[in-house]
Copies of this chain bind each other. A is one copy, B any other.
């Protein structure tokens, strides 16, 4: 795994120092700033591999920094949001963030997310990803199973792609509703379940015993290759 050049933006000095220290210990090379302006300069001149932005910043806030970074570069971005601030998540993802992490964050968790995203960014050069018989072509938006092409509807495809984006991770229904469907939906609904069933019916050899999309009772669904 490559040692990453990380750009960290966090205005609280104690949090910033703590994170910088922790990430350095994990083997990353970190540069940190307190404001978005400095960070944007850094992106332009130094080309870091990944940016970690606190959402609440003086001056330009983290989401706006994320948006401007997107205009400059394909740099992966992780947003740090205050606990339970759902709105931030929606806006952040819309601004093009690759992931978000709720503060206070454990260094171990942040490190895991960084590595996952870097790995994802690495493998994103090839638009095709395969899990055994299942091949997903993200460029052509085509899915095939054992060489045979499978037709997925737009919603089904978005759901599958979102699950595949986080292989092995459990994604809960609220998150899926927000990301796969648009913003405001009734929380209590079996909509996600129904869509998962539809995808399973198409990609699972035996939908009753799924090998790709697993149900995690009480939490959500997890994509993990057989």
A positions within 8 Å CB-CB of B? 1, 44, 47, 71-74, 106, 108-109, 111-113, 115-116, 119-120, 123-127, 129-132, 138-141, 153-155, 157, 167-170, 216-219, 222, 224-226
Checking B47, B108, B218 against A129 with a beta-carbon cut-off of 8 angstroms, the contacting residue is: B108
Chain B residues with Cβ below 8 Å from A222 are 140-141
Checking B106, B115, B169 against A124 with a beta-carbon cut-off of 8 angstroms, the contacting residue is: B115
Chain B residues with Cβ below 8 Å from A131 are 73
Most central of A73, A112, A113 by chain B CB within 10 Å: A112
The reply to whether B168 and A216 contact each other, CB–CB distance below 8 Å, is no
Additional pairs, 4, CB under 8 Å, beyond known A71-B130, A106-B127, A119-B125:
A47-B226, A112-B126, A115-B124, A116-B126
Checking B44, B139, B218 against A132 with a beta-carbon cut-off of 8 angstroms, the contacting residue is: B44
28 contacts between A and B (CB under 8 A): A1-B120, A44-B132, A47-B226, A71-B130, A72-B130, A72-B132, A73-B130, A73-B131, A73-B132, A108-B129, A109-B138, A111-B127, A112-B126, A112-B127, A116-B124, A116-B125, A116-B126, A119-B124, A119-B125, A125-B167, A139-B168, A139-B169, A140-B170, A140-B222, A153-B217, A153-B218, A154-B218, A157-B218
